Chains A and B, each alone.
Chain A
Amino acid sequence: MNAKEITVNQQDPEKVNNITNKPESLLKIGVEKFFKNKLSVLGGITIIIVVGMAVFAPWIAPFDPAKQDLLNTLAPPSMEHFLGTDELGRDVFSRLLYGARVSLLVSFTAVIGMKTIGVVIGASAGYFGKVVDSILMRFVDVIISFPQIFLLITMLAVLEPGLKTLIIVFILFSWTGTARLVRGEFLSLRNREFVLAARTMGLKTSRIMFRHILPNAMGPIIVSATLSVGGVILSEAGLSFLGLGIQPPTPSWGNMLQAAQDFNIMVNAWWYPIFPGLMILITVLAFNFVGDGLRDAFDPRDK
């Protein structure tokens, strides 16, 4: 008899069923822990509301965001325009809803893009080490050494400003932080025994990198991603405020703030600058709370 073969006993059918059952996943445990943190739940609800506002803007908005009413400019909040109107008589509430679309679209796309690039480059640098690491990290150093805000401004000035340009520019210059973070995680994880075990099992390198190491590095990546969403919303607002981001008449929270910076408006129509500013504040804060909550929830060490 070939001693390498394990004799197959008639298995107890119940036991077999048991192993084919879905395991109680870490996800479930994580979700439970997340819900215990009140601030992050609050943040999560806020994000859902903001996303809902963005998605359902055409149905919720009482007015067309571009529709002007020149006889009714800078009207204070009322039953009809309950966040007031702007200098061209457009409904601030409707414009905020449509602005949320732009802000979230830009930030989500940019964050997904920059995290993907950052993870791939950081993972390669950290896992392969040596020459690959040196080359990739010097490249990162070069990009980080550019004065970023001026680079963004220049790029946006040269290229045609707009949604696509904004997203591409964010992705191209903001993946470096993630790359460094992921590299660090991979460096410390690649010599852990479970990774060595996976290697001795003969698993493929890509599988080891993305199925074994990456899930263990996911915590910091998710946290940094949620924080980055807030960061990108802020940068977008900043660039739009400088007139380099989203171009009017498309509403974004940033260019609404820009339009509201007139002294006369600030003094006489407080609702116009306050509400876009509040939206930015609330949304960024919500993402930061959720980021913290996620970090705690997906840390397997403190179960």
Chain B
Amino acid sequence: MSKVLEKEILEKESAGEPKQEILRVTDLKKYFPIKSGVLQKTVGHIKAVDGISFSINKGETLGIVGESGCGKSTAGRTIIRLEEPTEGKILFKGKDISHMKEKELRKQVRREIQMIFQDPYASLNPRKTLGSTIVEPLNEYNLYGNQKQRLERVGELLETVGLDSSYSNRYPHEFSGGQRQRIGIARTLALDPEVIIADEAVSALDVSIQAQVINLMQRLQEEFELTYMFISHDLSVVRHISDKVAVMYLGKIMEIADKNSLYEEPMHPYTQALLSAVPVPKKHGATQRERITLKGDIPNPANPPKGCVFCTRCPAAMDICREVQPILKTKKENHSVACHLFE
């Protein structure tokens, strides 16, 4: 990084400039209709995302954790508008993009929000070389002058993510999972996005490769002031990369807090149970938390429990939990939780 940039960053920090909010989600809902019968009548809804709210500041990382089926991926896909939200608002830089038409999205939003996908084997078109995959968005938006300059830019992008620029003639099947994920990252960077939604970006990789990709993502975040929404089921990875963490369960946010606050003092019984399942290396001197075992399975999202969605498995469930839905409320500085225990 250039010295000028470093200086600027220092100046910014010392000036204590308030961080700028870049993405705000309010009461976002995504229901998938369940259809049945010959006439395809809608008989119910899968409430994949059921009223989540949060905001991300520029340059920050919001981690979203939860077990499979809790709606975290759907949330990501709805925010990037691969899915049409059922209800709620998505504000990107103050603009409401929640019901924007595809044409408008293309003009105003698509360049700025990008996504890294989970499966590095499925996320690259097997019929296209890396070069043509990465150059395509540049062509679409007429960036970087002529074709030759664009191809140079592709080479730079590949080098930025730690690959050789000569790889652009190759096909995806010639690369390993980790390399492909780097290619995916290079592609998302092509359009100079501001927000990157990483949907289980490292879950399909070996642990050693995970670390490399995470480090790469962190380096890029610093270099290009990226904002991440990092969706994962891996609590340790989320802890490593995030500034803020949201815990989702059955389409709802149970607890959202600054990273340290959440990991050191989890409030919600669900968060406590999740964290108690994370193995702690002995040599760090830390003691393993007492294991809280949750009984039963995640309820059917088509028919969630009446009160708190977690009440069926909660070790601390009270009568009120089965009747009244708790609301996400701020309990401490930057620490909100949706639980009746803290009313």
Interface positions of A (Cβ within 8 A of B):
1, 3-9, 11, 15-16, 18-24, 26, 192-194, 196-205, 207, 212, 215-216, 300, 303
Contacts and interface: CB of A to CB of B under 8 A. Distances in A.
A22 B168 CA distance: 10
B224 A16 contact: no
Nearest to A202: B110
Interface in B73-87: 77, 80, 82
Interface in B178-214: 184, 187, 190-192, 194
Scoring B118, B168, B190 by chain A CB atoms within 10 A of each residue's CB, the highest score goes to B168
| Nearest 8 pairs of A and B residues by beta carbon | A202-B110, A23-B169, A193-B123, A201-B137, A193-B117, A18-B166, A202-B106, A193-B122
B170 A23 contact: yes
Contact of B151 (A4, A20, A201): A20
Contacts of A21: 169
A24 B126 contact: no
B27 to A, nearest CB: 24
Contacts of A196: 77, 82, 115, 117, 123
Contact of A23 (B4, B129, B225): B129
B124 to A, nearest CB: 6
B156 A6 contact: yes
A212 B117 contact: no
B287 to A, nearest CB: 40
B227 to A, nearest CB: 12
Contacts of A16: 151-152, 155, 165
Contacts of A6: 156-157, 160, 224
Contacts, number: 125
B131 interface: yes
A11 B127 contact: no
A26 B157 CA distance: 24
A4 B131 contact: no
A199 B127 contact: no
Contacts of B128: 212
Interface of B: 2, 4-5, 8, 77, 80, 82, 102, 105-106, 110-111, 113-115, 117-119, 122-129, 131-132, 136-137, 140-141, 148, 151-152, 154-157, 160, 164-166, 168-171, 173, 184, 187, 190-192, 194, 223-225
Contact of A9 (B8, B111, B156): B156
A216 B126 contact: yes
Contacts of B160: 6
A202 B132 CA distance: 15
A205 B122 contact: no
A235 B276 CA distance: 71
B127 A216 contact: yes
A140 to B, nearest CB: 18
A200 B114 contact: yes
8 contacts: A15-B155, A24-B169, A198-B125, A201-B187, A202-B106, A202-B110, A204-B140, A300-B173
Contacts of B140: 201-204, 207
Contacts of A197: 115, 117, 123-124, 184, 187
Nearest to A17: B166
B166 A192 contact: no
A5 B189 CA distance: 11
B131 A1 contact: no
A201 B225 contact: no
Contacts of B8: 1
Nearest to B105: A202
B22 to A, nearest CB: 13
A212 B191 CA distance: 19
Nearest to B129: A23
A124 B310 CA distance: 42
B136 A3 contact: no
Contacts of A26: 127, 171
A231 B8 CA distance: 71
Nearest to A29: B171
A215 B184 CA distance: 20
B165 A216 contact: no
B117 A11 contact: no
A215 to B, nearest CB: 4
Contact of B169 (A19, A193, A201, A207): A19
A199 B128 CA distance: 16
B166 A193 contact: no
Contacts of B77: 196
